[in-house]
Amino acid sequence: MSTETDVPEIRLISGVRKRTDMLFRGAMTVGALASLVILALIAGFLLFRGFQIFADFGLGFLTSSTWDSGDVNDPTTARFGIAAMLVGSVLIATIAVVVAVPFAMSAALFIEYYAPRAVRTVLTSVLDLIAAVPSVIWGIWGYSVLMPDAEGWAKTLHSWLGWFPLFDVPAPIFGRSPFIAGLLLAMMILPIVTSVAREVYGQAPRDHVDAAYALGGTRWGALRTVVIPFGRSGLVGGAMLGLGRALGETVAVFLVLNLVFDVNFKILASAGGNVASLIASRFGEASPYELKGLMAAGLVLFLVTLLVNAAATAVVKRAKVAV
C-alpha cells in the first residue's frame, strides 16, 4: 500500500520453500493436530453414545438424583440423573482444594524462601516424584491407613461442631464420607498445587523483596508484603488445576467413598457422590441403556473438567508461569 509521501511498497520476503520442507511442515502440522482430533473424537463419541439419554431425560439428567437401571428388557422403566453425583464431585473437590491450598502455600514458601539451596533442589524433585505416585496406590493407602484415622478425626469434628449443618450426621457412621475422600484428594493434589505455587513465589521480583528488607522488614514481612500478593493469581491458577484433577479422579475416591444417589451436603456422613466413581462402579454390570447413561455422565464430566482446566490455564498463564 503506497501513500502520498512516497513510502515504497512493502516487499514481503517470500522464498520458495523446497518440496521436502513443505512436506515436513505439512506432516508436522497434521501430526500436531492429532490432539485436536482426539479431543473432538472424545466429545463426539460420548455425545453420540449418550445422545439418547439427553434426548430421553433432557435437563432432568442433570437435576434429578435417581439412578435406576430398571428392567433389563424394558428401557422405559429406567431413570437416570446425576445431580447427586455431580454435586458430590464438586463438594469433594472443593474440600480437597480448601484443605490443600493453605498447606501448599506454606510448603511452597518454605521450600522457596526458608530451605537451604541444596534442600530446595531435592524437594523440587521430590514434589515431581510424589505427583507421579499412581492414584491406585493413594487409594489403597487411603483405604487402609487414612480412613481408620480420619474416622476418628471426623468423630472429634462432629462432637465439637455437630450443631453446624455441614458437620451433622444422620447416623453415627463416619467411614467412606465426602470428608475422607476430600482429605485423600487434598493429599493427592498437594504436589501439583505446591509446585505451581513454588514456581510463582520463586518469580517474585527480587527488587521488591529487597525494598521490603531495606525498610527493616523481617523475612515474614517481605513475604507478606511482596511475595504472597505477587503470587496470588498464580496460586489461584494452581488451585484450579488441582480442582480439575480432583474432579476427574476415579479409583482413589471409589475406594474411600460410599456412593449414595441423594444430594448430600453433610460431609461427615457416610454418603456421597462422584461422577467418575459412578462410571467405574456401574460399568461392569450395566445394561446397554445404562451404558449410554454412563457415556452421558462421562461427557458432562469431560466438559466440566475441560472448563475448569481452561480457566486454570488462563489464570496461570497470566501469572507467567509454565506449568
Partner 1 sequence: MSTAVIESVTPAPRRPWRQPRKVALETTILVVASVVFARFLEAATGLAGVLGLYVGFAVALPVLAIVSVVRKGRNATIDRFATSVLVVAFGVVCIPWISVISTVVRNGSRAFYSGYLTTDMLITGVDDPLNTGGLAHALVGSVLVVLIASFIAVPLGIVAAIYIVEVKGRFAGFVRFLTQAMSGVPSIVAGLFVYATIVIFFGGFSAWAGASALVVLMLPTVARTSEEVLKLVSDDLRAASYALGATQARTTFSVVLPTVFSGLITAAVLGVARVAGETAPLLLTTSYFVKTSTNLNEPIATMPIYIFSSLGIGTENSIARAWGGSLVLLAAVLILFLIARIASNRLSRK
Partner 2 sequence: MDQPTSNEPTNVDTGEVVKPVIDAPAAPVEDRTRRRARNLEVGSAKGLEAVGVHAWFGNHHALADVSLHFPENTVTGLIGPSGCGKSTFLRLLNRMHEFIPRSAMAGEVLFEGRDIYGPGVSPTEIRRRIGMVFQKPNPFPAMNIGENVVAGPKLARLRVEDRDALVEECLVRAGLWKEVKDRLDAPAGSLSGGQQQRLCIARSLALRPDVLLLDEPCSALDPGSTLRVEETIVQLSETMTIVIVTHNMQQAARVSDYCAFFLSDGGPGRLIEADLTSNMFSNPSDERTANYVQGRFG
Show the binding pattern over residues 67-86: x = contacts partner 1 (CB under 8 A), - = does not: --------------------
Q: What is the dihedral of CA 39, 42, 43, 44, to 10 degrees?
A: 110
Per CB under 8 A, which of residues 240..259 are in contact with partner 2?
Answer: none
Show the binding pattern over residues 99-118: x = contacts partner 2 (CB under 8 A), - = does not: ------------------x-
Query: Which of 42-50, 51-59, 80-88, 258-266 is the region at the interface with partner 1 (rule: CB under 8 A)?
Result: 42-50
Show the binding pattern over residues 175-214: x = contacts partner 2 (CB under 8 A), - = does not: ------------------------------x-xx-xxxxx
| Residue 28 partner contact from partner 1, partner 2, none using kind-dependent CB cut-offs of 5 to 8 Å | partner 1
In the set 98, 122, 166, 310, which binds partner 1 (CB under 8 A)? 310
Show the binding pattern over residues 137-176: x = contacts partner 1 (CB under 8 A), - = does not: xxxxx-xxxx--x---------------------------
Closest CB to partner 1 among residues 266, 299: 299
Under rule CB under 8 A, residue 236 binds partner 2: no
Nearest of 26, 5, 8 to residue 17 by alpha carbon: 26
Closest CB to partner 2 among residues 74, 207: 207
User: Minimum Å distance from CB 41 to partner 1?
Assistant: 7
DSSP one-letter string for 199-215: HHHHTS-HHHHHHHHHT
- Cell numbers placing 10: 512493502
| Residue 134 partner contact from partner 2, partner 1, none using kind-dependent CB cut-offs of 5 to 8 Å | partner 1
Show the binding pattern over residues 216-235: x = contacts partner 2 (CB under 8 A), - = does not: xxx--xx--xx--xx-----
Per CB under 8 A, which of residues 269..288 are in contact with partner 1?
Answer: 276, 279-280, 283
103-107 contacts: CB < 8 A, separation 24 or more? Answer: 103/186, 103/190, 103/194, 104/190, 104/193, 104/194, 104/197, 104/235, 104/238, 104/239, 104/242, 105/197, 105/228, 105/235, 107/190, 107/194, 107/197, 107/198
Give helix 34-57 / helix 19-32 axis angle, nearest 10°. 30
Q: How far apart are CA 139 and CA 274, in angstroms?
A: 15
Q: What is the dihedral of CA 28, 34, 37, 43, to 10 degrees?
A: -150
Per CB under 8 A, which of residues 222..261 are in contact with partner 1?
Answer: 223-224, 241, 244-245, 247-251, 255
Q: How far apart are CA 161 and CA 263, in angstroms?
A: 21
